Structure 1
Amino acid sequence: MRYNSALVAMAAMLAIASPAAAAAPAASKSIDVAQAKQRLVESFARLAQQTDGTTGVAIQRIGGGDVITLNAGTRFPMASTFKISVAGAIFSLIDSGKLTLDHMITVDPALVVPSDGIADQLPHRGVSLSVHNLLELMLTRSDNTATNVLSETVGGPAAVTAWLRSIGITGMQVDRDTRRIRPDGTPFDLVTSNNSTPEAMLNLLLAIRAGKAVSATSTKALIEIMERCHTGEARLKGLLPPGTMVAHKTGTLRDVANDVGFVTLPDGNQFAIAVFVKGDTKGPQTQERVIAEISRAAYDYFLLLGR
């Protein structure tokens, strides 16, 4: 299956670059683009067959163009990709002057949960970190404790969802932080909590990239942190050319594997991509291969079409 994206790319190249296509009128060229898009959608569906779960995809070139999806409208657990929305809500407070990146926050021991970061490296009471460092830990290492602290800072999951609605994002719901037990002692349903459609996540990414979610300064800071993500090397980045810049956030939860973000093409243009996998029983290697091959197919499509 690893070579499917190369076949899609070759087909797209033949459709776009053949002498007949070059000599054809604009209408025919539009048909060729439509055919390339259809082949890409079919490729997504074939690649998704590697998992016995369900795969959702949404992509669009930054600056406009067609939105291409697989299983649009289907709800997927966001897992840790929801942390992008927490970061957005934090940056909105910074933009409004209610918070600064340098503001120090004391980590409440009640918010500490197992994760790579604060819980592992700073196990003793008396931890205080700046908002900037908490954002770094949350987005680059997916630190759950940092996420809980930042979620509490903005007013909890309901406040995060309210921020999403304020910037026009529907189809995405944040109703819990990373704790598995509610304050009343009842467990969260990890499958239905914090869910999103692929296109809703894409819309959030596009709003961020376009500067419609937070200020230009905050947008730059947020994307730069996402560029330093340490997780998911075998997912969106897995089959892309070495050195390709990917600003992204992963999510993993039992039979769930996600990766969402921005991919930079050789000409400096970018596309936004969200890939969700849920219900898979074949394991992480299969889940990550599906995400990587879908990412490469999208990369080849945008690279060769130039749009």
Structure 2
Amino acid sequence: MPATDTPRCGARTEATVPPPGPEAGARFAPLDAVLADLEERRRVRLGVLAHDPGRGLTYARRADDRFAMCSTFKVYAAAAILRLESQGSLRLDNTAGNLLLRRLGGPTAVTAFARSLGDTVTTLDRWEPELNSAEPGDVRDTSTASGLARGYRELLLGSGLPAAGQQTLTGWMRASVTSGQRIRAGLPAGWTAADKSGAGRYGTVNDAGVLWSPDGSPLVLVLLSDSVTGLPDAAHDNAAIAEATAVIVESLTR
């Protein structure tokens, strides 16, 4: 991963994601209206946490509502493996989701790892593929936009991993191609992303990570969504995530 791609992506910062300040209501009222219209048009529910650490700006929409995690848990699983590898507890290998979980000690180990990052809400309870069932009202295998934002920021911008592990994880997430129709489809020209997508039943579509502007300024963005139709086989609406990304980035950087 060339260093010139994201000049500040290795910078380690205080990983707290503060709640929106008192000025957020007025500043982000237009964004609220745009996202409300998007939800109505596309029949989705959005959970959003966007945080600009450089300017201290935070935007939240249903940021404390629970959504099915689906494959976004894999960032925590991979990071937990990297932490153990840095401690000399195991040798790094290339394994799929359930093998990672087995190596860590099961889904509850991912929950414990999330807690070590300051994410107090994420809970992983089942294995693949059951964890993607995403039944409404079921809190198993769920997280919130605010919870994932805290954890992902700690891993990618903070001190959740040693520097070498952080660089490895960032490289893996930047190399991912699964969000090409989601967050990355909504980025302005010159922006890059290290993110992880996920999808499950009931139209669950997620994407979360850190974005970098052309000058290297980071923006933490977590977008969780599901269908409001209540249909188990509801279509995955990637375009809703892409459209939300575009308007959120524009609003926070204007």
CA RMSD of aligned residues (A): 2.4
Alignment deviations for residues 61-107 of structure 1 (CA, whole Å, 9 cap, x no partner): 13461321111221100111111111121122112210232xxxxxx
Alignment deviations for residues 262-300 of structure 1 (CA, whole Å, 9 cap, x no partner): 11112210101111111344633xx21211111111221
> Residue 24 of structure 2 contacts residue 58 of structure 2 at CA under 8 Å; is this kept in 1?
no
Residue 302, structure 1, aligned to residue 249, structure 2: no
Match of residue 27, structure 2, among 13, 20, 36: 36
Which blocks of at least 5 consecutive residues in structure 2 are unaligned? 1-20
SS at match of 2:169: helix
Alpha-carbon distance between aligned partners in 2 of 1:53 and 1:299, rounded to the nearest angstrom = 20
1:59-78 residue pairs with structure 2 within 5 A? 59-63=50-54, 65-78=56-69
Residue 100, structure 1, aligned to residue 100, structure 2: no
Alpha-carbon distance between aligned partners in 1 of 2:35 and 2:148, rounded to the nearest angstrom = 18
Residue 91, structure 1, aligned to residue 43, structure 2: no
Q: Specify the alignment match of 1:163 in structure 2.
A: 113
Alpha-carbon distance between aligned partners in 2 of 1:93 and 1:32, rounded to the nearest angstrom = 42
> Residue 134 of structure 2 contacts residue 204 of structure 2 at CA under 8 Å; is this kept in 1?
no
Alpha-carbon distance between aligned partners in 1 of 2:109 and 2:50, rounded to the nearest angstrom = 27
SS at match of 1:169: coil
Shift in Å at residue 211 of structure 1? 2.8
* Percent identity of paired positions between Structure 1 and Structure 2: 28
Residue 283, structure 1, aligned to residue 235, structure 2: yes
Q: Specify the alignment match of 1:200 in structure 2.
A: 147
1:235-250 residue pairs with structure 2 within 5 A? 235-250=182-197
Paired residues in the alignment total 226
Distance 1:63 1:92, change over 3 A: farther
Report the TM-score, using the length of structure 2 for normalisation.
0.80
Q: Which has the higher helix share?
A: 1
Shift in Å at residue 253 of structure 1? 0.8
Alpha-carbon distance between aligned partners in 2 of 1:31 and 1:203, rounded to the nearest angstrom = 20
Distance 1:34 1:180, change over 3 A: closer
1:101-120 residue pairs with structure 2 within 5 A? 101=92
Alpha-carbon distance between aligned partners in 1 of 2:130 and 2:69, rounded to the nearest angstrom = 15
Residue 260, structure 1, aligned to residue 208, structure 2: yes
Residue 57, structure 1, aligned to residue 7, structure 2: no
Report the TM-score, using the length of structure 1 for normalisation.
0.67
SS at match of 2:161: coil
Which blocks of at least 5 consecutive residues in structure 1 are unaligned? 1-29, 102-130, 135-145, 182-187
Residue 233, structure 1, aligned to residue 180, structure 2: yes
SS at match of 2:183: coil
